[in-house]
Amino acid sequence: MKAKILLKHTLLASMAVGGLTGCSSLFDWVAARNLDQPEGTVMLAGLQQPVEIRRDEYGVPFVEAQNIADLTFGIGYAMAEDRLAQMVSMNLLARGRLSEMVGPLGVDMDVYMRTLGVPQIIAERYQAVGDELKTHLTGFSAGVNAYIETHKDRLPLELTLNGYTPEPWQPENTIGLFVMLNLGVGFNLHEELAFLQIAEKVGAEKTAYLAPIFPDEPIDLAEAGKLADVALAAQQLRPQLDFLSGIEQQMKRINGQGLAASNNWAVHKDHTANGASLVANDTHLLLSHPSTWMLMGARSPEYSGVGIGLPGIPALVAGYNGHIGWGETMVMADTQDIFLEQLRQRDDVTEYLYQGEWYPVQSRTETLTIKGEEPLTFTVQSTRHGPLLNPAVKGKPKHEMIPMATDSLYGLALSWTAQFPDTTIDSFFRLGQAKNLDEAEQALNGVGFIHLNVIAGDKDNIQWQITGNYPLRKNGTGHFPSPGWTGDYDWTGSWGGADTPRVRNPQAGFVATGNDRTVGPGFTPTLTSSWYYPERGERARQLLAERNDHDAANMVAMQADRHDLLIGKVQQLWQSDEWAALIDTAASRLTAEQQLSAEKTLNILMNFDGNLEENSRSAAVWGAFEHNLIRAIFLDELGPDDGRLWTALMAMNGRAYSGYQDHLLGRKTPGGDWAPFWDDVRTDATENPGDIIAAALVSTWDYLQQTLGNDDQQWQWGQLAYYHWQTETTHMLPWLSGVQKFAVQRLAKYTDRGPYPAGGNRNTLNVAGYSLGKDYGVWNIPAMRLVVDFSAEEPLQLVIAGGQSGNPASPHYDDGIDLWLSRTNRTLPFNNEEKVQAHFNKVKVLQPAN
């Protein structure tokens, strides 16, 4: 034992030296120790009968067992082989225990997760799980633990570098990952926090123009009016908002929190070339390495299918099971409301005001175990509206990274649909077992904790269905924060389940969603006021309506599409008499040299076909113009570009239909004036859109010459926009300093891949979301692409954005990148056993040891 401990410490010291000197060979040696051969026999206790883990040329596992207990065991073992470090880190994050592995860096995130009460939610959700599924989760845990037990001396690189030995996997850990998935697609909290940050400076009414609902809906001035008499002074809210903004950024980089996610569509058999339905899905998540998703096949008498899995969950999230195919997008649901609470301190008791009376907050104590430091104990306070998100409470600060408590007038309480009981994980498991769309619909009725557009199909039918529990509010929509002390905006219950919108076999012959509005304006009860940009959904429906002979190749081509419909809308708008006059008049006031630059930029924009391919010169000009225009519109009031308000604007633009695009499309006030941010407050004049656009046209040409060179014929969009596969560790660089930061930069040279030229943007079906107005690093991508063609013997085509393995020494760590970049899919067989065995031809057998 002493020898093993000495070896461990010597190894860690050597790796630290190797990392600081840029020696990737040592990292590779440590990573390679964790690799298993894909073939052979492993003797393991806990199995009833042998289990086969077959793998294909990309390392994708297909687990076969003679009963479901052994199947879940095998899935657990295979997932741990591929993604143990990812599973462990996500579980620690969910439980508010990340600092046990990473030290002080994880404290803020742990405080946040404990404040939200996620560990308690996990426990409550697990108690509600049915006995049958608890058995399956227990079997899965046994498989994960069998892997951990047999790899104690050769753990994955990330765990070895942190000196962290994972504890045994518990069945309820899977529930935690589902909760994290919900938190990732839980949406409006981020918009509300950004709203408060900006409203502090420019006022609630003006800030509402940065959070439009949809192009054809009015600005939500009624919601903003809730805060008209609320003083949003900096000294009252800034410490809380700054803290929460920092947490939000860290959480986003780890679990993609609050990202707009995905396209899906289905075509009825009557509109296909081969007389059988088609289903397609591509989920848009954070560009990370390894991918959020992994590929997986499974077969037992009780549960079978092939498709997308989430490491740590022994069920298919999307895929094909021999009967149906299905996939999901985010509804952009508003399931989180911020309530401003009036607080006071009385005899060491914090009280909050509600309907004229003061009530004591509820309190609980939480303790963090922090690697390398003493434990940290802090208090979480709650009102009737939920936990207070304030970063500090009266008394000793929780951590040196967290600001001291202030005498803030307001607390920020969070109401979240996590409070509503449901059977989500049981329902997802039943969805994978569904043999027809009736059974699929019934299973989805039980999904309450994840808010999705699920599109499903079988050979003859297609359907769309919204899932989730949604809050019922006394008043308002929850779009913006509400005063908590009046009681006027309280939640009165929930709705959802079998009552959510849905359709089967619509007359149009297809269904499609792209996080855009899927119901009529003003739909009640409110699903959300934070729909995504409409162009992706519009483009999908446009292409689906163009023909009645769709096939799988057509579905793949749609997923690869990089046409932005916004560009045509802008061209049409600028050709109107009103806008042409605005731009011409402003341009006439420019110098001759400026007019030449503006004219060259404008000619390219007006003749652009809207296809943002990597090698497109026109796309480079459009992308650079947008970069300069958003800065010209908003930077005067929300700058500087490295400040808190600009960061808040970036968050709002990236997550929902934005104030930038709404301004660009011609938004006016109810009184007929131009949307308010067109005016440059630094001048004495009142600018109109023509003035700002003309200035952006000039600056775009100069900007491109400085950025891409003077030869404008060589400009390409892919020289600006880029993909970069980076690990969670690399994503944390902004919060590191000194030797730690230097070491992680050295490690990144070994673990990260890219950059690669990118195509598309936020509006294209082949999405490439980046922080418009900041840089061109693409962080929101199709994390997987799935097509189910029911006319084919083997219907499923599927890829993920990266490799199957989380081990940098594995050939399957990055072999999926080139495939993903090619914008093609590949077939994963399931129906024909002979083809399954030929495709998944590397076989590992798990044999019962007892």
User: Which residues, at least 6 apart from 818, have a Cβ–Cβ distance to it below 8 Å?
Assistant: none
Helix (H) or strand (E) holding 221: helix 221-225
Would you give the distance in Å from CA 414 to the centre of its chain? 20
What is the pairing mode between strands 40-44 and 842-848? Answer: parallel
Phi, psi at 800, each rounded to 5°: -120, 165
| Rounded CA separation 359/354 (Å) | 7
Q: What count of other Cβ atoms lies within 10 Å of the Cβ of residue 672?
A: 6
**Helices 68-94 and 131-150: crossing angle, nearest 10°?**
80
| Rounded CA separation 137/173 (Å) | 9
- Give yes or no for a cis peptide into 212 (omega within 30° of 0): no
User: Which residues, at least 6 apart from 800, have a Cβ–Cβ distance to it below 8 Å?
Assistant: 291, 293, 294, 295, 308, 783, 784, 816, 820
- What is the 3-state composition of the chain as percent helix, strand, coil, each rounded to the nearest 5? 45, 20, 40
Nearest of 172, 96, 75 to residue 425 by alpha carbon = 172
Q: Which two tokens stand for residue 808?
A: 């940098």
Q: Is 262 a catalytic residue?
A: yes
Amino acid at the residue 88: V
The one catalytic residue among 89, 141, 245, 262:
262
User: Which residues, at least 6 apart from 115, have a Cβ–Cβ distance to it below 8 Å?
Assistant: 380, 387, 388, 389
Residue length, the chain? Answer: 850
| Rounded CA separation 254/88 (Å) | 13
The SS3 call for residue 83 is helix
Beta carbons of 782 and 798 less than 8 angstroms apart: no
Show the 3-state SS of 161-200: HHCCCCCCCCHHHHHHHHHHHHHHHCCHHHHHHHHHHHHH
What is the pairing mode between strands 278-282 and 376-383? Answer: unpaired
Helix (H) or strand (E) holding 308: strand 304-309
Residue 348 in marked binding region:
no
Beta carbons of 289 and 751 less than 8 angstroms apart: yes
Residue 357 in marked binding region:
no
Q: What count of other Cβ atoms lies within 10 Å of the Cβ of residue 325?
A: 31
Residue 551 in marked binding region:
no
C-alpha distances in angstroms, 169 versus 119, 310, 650?
15, 15, 38
| Rounded CA separation 506/108 (Å) | 48
Beta carbons of 169 and 145 less than 8 angstroms apart: yes
Burial grade of 327 (CB within 10 A; 0-12, 13-18, 19 or more)? buried
| Rounded CA separation 649/206 (Å) | 13
Q: Which two tokens stand for residue 611?
A: 């296809």
Q: Which two tokens stand for residue 639?
A: 């700058």
User: Residue ranges of the alpha helices (H) in 434-576?
Assistant: 437-444, 535-545, 552-559, 565-574
Phi, psi at 132, each rounded to 5°: -65, -45
User: Which residues, at least 6 apart from 380, have a Cβ–Cβ distance to it below 8 Å?
Assistant: 114, 115, 117, 363, 364, 365, 366, 387, 388
38 DSSP assignment: S
Beta carbons of 655 and 260 less than 8 angstroms apart: yes
Q: What count of other Cβ atoms lies within 10 Å of the Cβ of residue 301?
A: 10
The SS3 call for residue 95 is coil
Amino acid at the residue 613: E
**Annotated binding-site positions for Ca(2+):** 192, 334, 337
**Annotated binding-site positions:** 192, 334, 337
Active-site positions? 262
